[in-house]
């Protein structure tokens, strides 16, 4: 199958997923009024640059679209919690408001500081950033994304300015490597390097939370969870899609990625919860693939 055909098929599949989820949104909205249906959507962002060369990058949400999404959350009466606030609130799930979301960012791009942070600050919304700690202060940029000026990593000064406004930071690993291909000793080495690199920048908090690059499932996820516990991490996002519920495991909390092409209806459908069915399919698919590749 040619690359062009793969691209067309992928786009068709994504459009079908969006269509089904948007159609399900009214049912999920009505279901959300039931007391037993309380769930929280954790939004996962990556880049927020207006650069023309990033327009076709599915991981990039244009700053104007991000501002629009923030405005929608305020207009619909959503309370925004940081990831650590949400995890703490899981101890008393019944006290949570009916409409809650959490906003997170992965990697640590300068364009988040330049564009997302001002929007969050203006809206007085907290957010959680997960940093690939090996690349802080590097003007050359991330090794996988060197061609765009605004896609260099955060500087320590930028992190300090954001922390002063209540933004929190945790580990997204040190090297941004694929944890599904690591041994437990390699996982430990990477996590420890990340903690040591982040301590001078964000104080004693890097042990609390973790977001795994690329995602990890099956036996590799089981190994990583064991390592996270041994290294005194308290909670983690490992790549599972879906919404957080009262019984969600804290070491494999679900999120939903916001893509650059997500329009208003798709965004609303995600925060309402009608993409949750895809999370079940997504998780089952990756479990099957991981078992086929490595066995249990």
Domain boundaries defined on the chain: 3-294
Phi then psi for residue 4, to 5 deg, are: -65, -40
| DSSP-assigned states of every residue in 147-167 | S-GGGSBPPHHHHHHHHTTT-
What average pLDDT does range 208-217 have in this prediction? 94
Contact predicate 86/40, CB 8 Å: yes
What average pLDDT does range 203-225 have in this prediction? 88
Helix or strand holding residue 23 (H, E) = helix 3-31
List, for residues 137-157, the tens digit of each pLDDT value: 988 778 877 565 567 899 999
- Spatial distance between the Cα atoms of 202 and 181, rounded to a whole number of angstroms: 28
pLDDT of residue 8: 76
Q: Tell me 259's DSSP state.
A: P
* CA angle, 50 then 53 then 55, to 5°: 60
Nearest CA-CA partner of 63 in 78, 45, 81, 79: 45
Phi then psi for residue 128, to 5 deg, are: -125, 130
pLDDT beyond 80 at 72: yes
Lowest mean pLDDT among 7-11, 90-94, 213-217: 7-11
The percentage of the chain sitting over the pLDDT mark of 90, rounded to a whole number, equals: 66
27 Rama sector, left if φ>0, alpha if ψ -120 to 50, beta otherwise: alpha
Query: Quick one: tokens of 16?
Result: 């079908």
Among all chains, which residue has been given the structure tokens 């982040």? 198
- Spatial distance between the Cα atoms of 174 and 246, rounded to a whole number of angstroms: 30
Res. 280 pLDDT band, cuts 50 70 90: confident
What average pLDDT does range 172-182 have in this prediction? 96
Q: Which residues contact 237 (CB under 8 A, 6 or more apart)?
A: 42, 44, 83, 104, 130, 209, 210, 211, 212, 252, 253, 254, 255
pLDDT beyond 50 at 296: no
Nearest CA-CA partner of 87 in 134, 46, 119, 40: 40
What average pLDDT does range 35-55 have in this prediction? 88
- Spatial distance between the Cα atoms of 112 and 47, rounded to a whole number of angstroms: 6
- Spatial distance between the Cα atoms of 99 and 88, rounded to a whole number of angstroms: 17
Distance linking the first and last C-alpha atoms of the chain:
31
Lowest mean pLDDT among 79-83, 100-104, 282-286: 282-286
Strand, helix or coil for residue 169? strand
Point out which residues pair with 105 in neighbouring strands: 45, 129
Look up the CATH superfamily of 3-294. Answer: Glycoside hydrolase/deacetylase (3.20.20.370)
Between residues 45 and 38, the one the model is more confident about: 45
CA 269 to chain centre: 17
* CA angle, 254 then 237 then 143, to 5°: 125
- Spatial distance between the Cα atoms of 264 and 203, rounded to a whole number of angstroms: 38
List, for residues 78-101, the tens digit of each pLDDT value: 999 999 999 999 999 989 998 999
245-266 b/e (C-beta count within 10 Å ≥ 16 → b): eeebeebbbbbbbbbbebeeeb
């Amino acid at each position: 199958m040619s690359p062009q055909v793969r691209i067309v098929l992928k786009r068709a599949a994504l459009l079908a997923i969006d269509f089904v989820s948007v159609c399900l949104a009214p049912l999920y909205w009505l279901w959300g009024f039931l007391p037993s249906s309380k769930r929280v959507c954790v939004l996962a962002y990556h880049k927020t640059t207006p650069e023309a060369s990033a327009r076709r990058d599915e991981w990039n949400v244009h700053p104007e679209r991000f501002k629009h999404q923030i405005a929608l959350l305020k207009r619909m009466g959503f309370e925004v919690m940081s990831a650590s606030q949400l995890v703490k609130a899981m101890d008393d799930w019944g006290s949570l408001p009916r409409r809650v979301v959490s906003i997170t960012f992965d990697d640590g791009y300068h364009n988040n500081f330049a564009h997302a942070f001002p929007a969050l600050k203006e809206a007085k919304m907290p957010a959680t950033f997960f940093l690939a700690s090996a690349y802080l202060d590097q003007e050359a940029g991330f090794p996988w994304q060197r061609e765009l000026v605004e896609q260099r990593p955060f500087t320590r000064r930028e992190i300090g300015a954001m922390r002063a406004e209540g933004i929190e930071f945790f580990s997204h690993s040190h090297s941004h490597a694929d944890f599904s291909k690591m041994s437990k000793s390699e996982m430990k080495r990477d996590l420890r390097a990340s903690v040591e690199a982040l301590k001078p920048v964000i104080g004693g908090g890097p042990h609390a939370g973790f977001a795994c690059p690329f995602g990890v499932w099956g036996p590799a996820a089981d190994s990583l969870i064991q390592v996270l516990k041994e290294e005194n991490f308290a909670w983690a996002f490992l790549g599972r899609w879906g919404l957080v519920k009262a019984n969600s495991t804290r070491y494999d909390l679900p999120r939903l990625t916001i893509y650059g092409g997500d329009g208003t209806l798709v965004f609303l459908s995600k925060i309402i919860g009608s993409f949750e069915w895809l999370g079940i399919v997504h998780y089952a698919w990756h479990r099957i693939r991981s078992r086929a590749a490595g066995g249990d």
